[in-house]
Each structure stands twice: as structure tokens, then as C-alpha cells.
Amino acid sequence: MAAPDRTSAGSLAGKVAVVTGGASGIGRATAFLFAEEGAAVTVADVDAVQAQQTVQTIIDRGSRALYVRTDVTSDEACQNAITRTIEEFSYLDVLFNNAGIIHRTSVPNTAEADWDRVMAVNVKGVYLMSKYAIPVMARGGSIINTGSGWGLVGGHDAAPYCASKGAVVQLTRAMAIDHGAQGLRVNCVCPGDTDTPLLAQEAEQLGINEQTFRAQAAVRPIGRVGRPDDVARAVLYLASEASEFVTGATLVVDGGGLAGQAP
Ligand SMILES: NC(=O)c1ccc[n+]([C@@H]2O[C@H](COP(=O)([O-])OP(=O)(O)OC[C@H]3O[C@@H](n4cnc5c(N)ncnc54)[C@H](O)[C@@H]3O)[C@@H](O)[C@H]2O)c1
């Protein structure tokens, strides 16, 4: 039996989206949700095996998807991801700049190579993907960058990561100003601790037992860490016309973690 055509209904019906970091965690959940909502999705990621799984799942569910191996720190790779998307799907409407890495160290304990790597993936990657996407987003559209609660407040032993996510918040605002007139909105989603492989990496980098780390991370008004779907639904809002008057904004999705001190 032919798979149902899911591209004619939903809040992203007929749209084309690129999701960086779509092989895992928040990116994968968002790629699935975008596809469910009618978008054709390009998954741009360095992890070929997991990214292919994301793409195959979307196709098996009756939507269109493409994998383009992409290291977002490479100018050439970013250009290729956008070019391949246009070749395959003709348009680009939504770019989710989500690929990111964590590095938990203070300034004196940060090796220069680690500093450069975090800034390259988390910040330069947003710049490079956007550089090639913006000129082809001819129908207008939406760019969503993944910041972090730690783009808005500081955190301990996370200097390069905090610096990179603060830069993403400001880059978002600058892009929103430059491209509003061409019908392009640019916003930032700022997740709190979310249950993805990145969370386990954090615990490992800090030398903390993963269960202990998760329990500590759950101490927030909603009383749990985030799920990738929590963030994906916020990203869908920013991608869709439901947010047509929202640009340059930071949307915090953290179960109240940044809301303030509990008594
Ligand atoms: N999980 C959290 O607690 C949390 C909190 C705040 C912000 N974030 C941010 O959310 C985003 C997604 O993280 P996640 O938690 O889903 O992590 P994740 O590790 O599950 O996924 C990250 C993805 O990015 C990909 N990636 C890494 N380097 C890349 C590169 N150079 N080029 C292309 N792809 C690359 C990985 O292969 C992976 O698929 C990141 O920007 C992260 O900083 C996560």
C-alpha cells in the first residue's frame, strides 16, 4: 500500500526545512515533528549512521526527507547542504541551526583547541549555514537558532559553552534586524537541561554520576528535565505562521529553570 502523503496538511504543509544536528536529541525530535506537520526535511549532520536513521524513519512514515553529510564548521559542506536541498525540494523555508556540542571547563582549564571547536560548531556553524540559506529563502521564512539557558545566564565550569550560546543569542538579534524586510524571521530557542546524549556527556565531563547529575538537573519548577519533544514543539511554533510577528526573540524552554530562586 502506498504511504500516505503527509505534505498537504499540517502547520508546515508544503514547506521545506533544513535541520542541523538532526541525527540525535532535539534535532531528531524536531525533524520528526516538522515532517509530521507537512515539511520536507533535510537532515544535515556529521553522524551519517544516526542521520540516515532519522531520514529513513521520516520516509517510512510517508514524508519526504534527505540526508546531506554536513560538518557545520565547513564552509563548503554548509553550501553543499543548502544546494542539495534546493536540488531535491526546490525551496527552503525553515532553517533550524541546532547542531551543537558541550564542553564543561573553566577558562584556565580550557585548551585552546577545545575553545576553538566549541565556537566553531556552536557559533560559526550558525553563521555558515545561514550565509548560504538566506539568499535562497526567496519565499521568506524562519530561521531558528538553538541557544541555551546558558546563553542568557552564566553557569559554572562552562566558559566556552556559555560564550558560544551568548553569541548565538546576539547573532539571532542581529540577523533578525538585517533580514526582517525580506520576510525572514530569526529567533532563538533556549532549552534548559534536556534528556539527550549531550546531557550524559556533561555528566561525564564533570566526573559526576549520570543519575546524580540528572536528579540535580530536575530541580526546577516543573520538576523534571526537558524532553526533546518539549523543545521541538517550541521550535515548530517559531517555524510556523503561528509566530508570524515574532522575530529577534529568545524562547526559553526549561521548565522554569531560569524563572528565579525558589524560597
Ligand atoms: N540537551 C541539553 O540539555 C541542551 C540544553 C541547552 C541547549 N542545548 C543545545 O541543543 C542543541 C542540540 O543538542 P542535543 O541536546 O540534542 O545534543 P545531541 O548530542 O543529542 O545532538 C547534537 C547533534 O549535533 C551533531 N553535531 C555535532 N557537531 C556537529 C557538526 N560539526 N556538524 C554537524 N552536526 C554536528 C551531532 O552529531 C548530534 O547529532 C545543541 O546546540 C545544544 O547546545 C542542549
The one catalytic residue among 67, 127, 132, 161:
161
Q: Is the CA virtual torsion 195, 200, 203, 206 positive or negative?
A: negative
Cβ of 73 below 6 Å from ligand 1: yes
Cβ of 70 below 6 Å from ligand 1: yes
Q: Residue 199 C-alpha to ligand 1 middle, in angstroms?
A: 10
- The predicted structure's pLDDT at residue 1: 46
Question: What is the Cα–Cα distance from 144 to 18, expressed in whole angstroms?
Answer: 10
Q: Report the residue among 128, 198, 224, 227 best suited for mutation to probe ligand 1: largest number of ligand atoms under 8 A from its CB.
A: 198
Alpha carbon 81 to chain centroid, angstroms: 16
Atom 30 in ligand 1: residue holding the nearest Cα: 71
- The predicted structure's pLDDT at residue 139: 86
Is-contact 25 197, C-beta < 8 A? Answer: yes
How many of the other CB atoms lie within 10 Å of CB of 95?
Answer: 32
How many of the other CB atoms lie within 10 Å of CB of 136?
Answer: 15
CB crowding 185-215: b at 16 or more within 10 Å, else e: bbbbbbbbbbbbebbeebbeeeeeeeeebbe
Q: Which residue has the higher pLDDT, 139 or 137?
A: 137
Cβ of 146 below 6 Å from ligand 1: yes
Three-class secondary structure of residue 164 per DSSP: helix
75 has pLDDT over 90: yes
Mean pLDDT of all residues in the chain? 96
Q: Is the CA virtual torsion 125, 130, 133, 139 positive or negative?
A: positive
pLDDT tier for residue 148 given thresholds of 50, 70 and 90: very high
pLDDT one-digit tens code per residue, 178-222: 999 999 999 999 999 999 999 999 999 999 999 999 999 999 999
Cβ of 21 below 6 Å from ligand 1: yes
Cβ of 98 below 6 Å from ligand 1: yes
Q: Which residue has the higher pLDDT, 181 or 1?
A: 181
Three-class secondary structure of residue 102 per DSSP: coil
Length in residues, the chain: 263
Is-contact 44 100, C-beta < 8 A? Answer: no
234 has pLDDT over 70: yes
Tabulate helix, strand, coil % of the chain (nearest 5).
50, 15, 35
Cβ of 235 below 6 Å from ligand 1: no
Atom 14 in ligand 1: residue holding the nearest Cα: 25
pLDDT one-digit tens code per residue, 113-138: 999 999 999 999 999 999 999 999 98
Residue 122: name the closest of 163, 179, 154 by CA.
163
What percent of the chain lies above the pLDDT cut of 70?
Answer: 97
Cβ of 254 below 6 Å from ligand 1: no
The mean pLDDT value for 140-151 works out to 98
Q: Residue 147 C-alpha to ligand 1 middle, in angstroms?
A: 10
Active-site residue, 237 included: no
Residue ranges and CATH numbers for the domains of the chain are 16-195+229-253 (3.40.50.720)
Angle between helix axes 112-119 and 159-179 (nearest 10 degrees) is: 30
Q: Residue 4 C-alpha to ligand 1 middle, in angstroms?
A: 31
The mean pLDDT value for 61-88 works out to 98
Is-contact 36 61, C-beta < 8 A? Answer: yes
Alpha-helical (H) ranges within the chain are 25-36, 48-60, 75-89, 112-119, 125-133, 159-179, 197-206, 210-217, 228-239
The mean pLDDT value for 160-188 works out to 98
How many of the other CB atoms lie within 10 Å of CB of 152?
Answer: 17
For ligand 1, what atom is nearest to the CA of residue 161?
43
Q: Report the residue among 18, 19, 24 best suited for mutation to probe ligand 1: largest number of ligand atoms under 8 A from its CB.
A: 24
How many of the other CB atoms lie within 10 Å of CB of 25?
Answer: 22
Cβ of 26 below 6 Å from ligand 1: yes
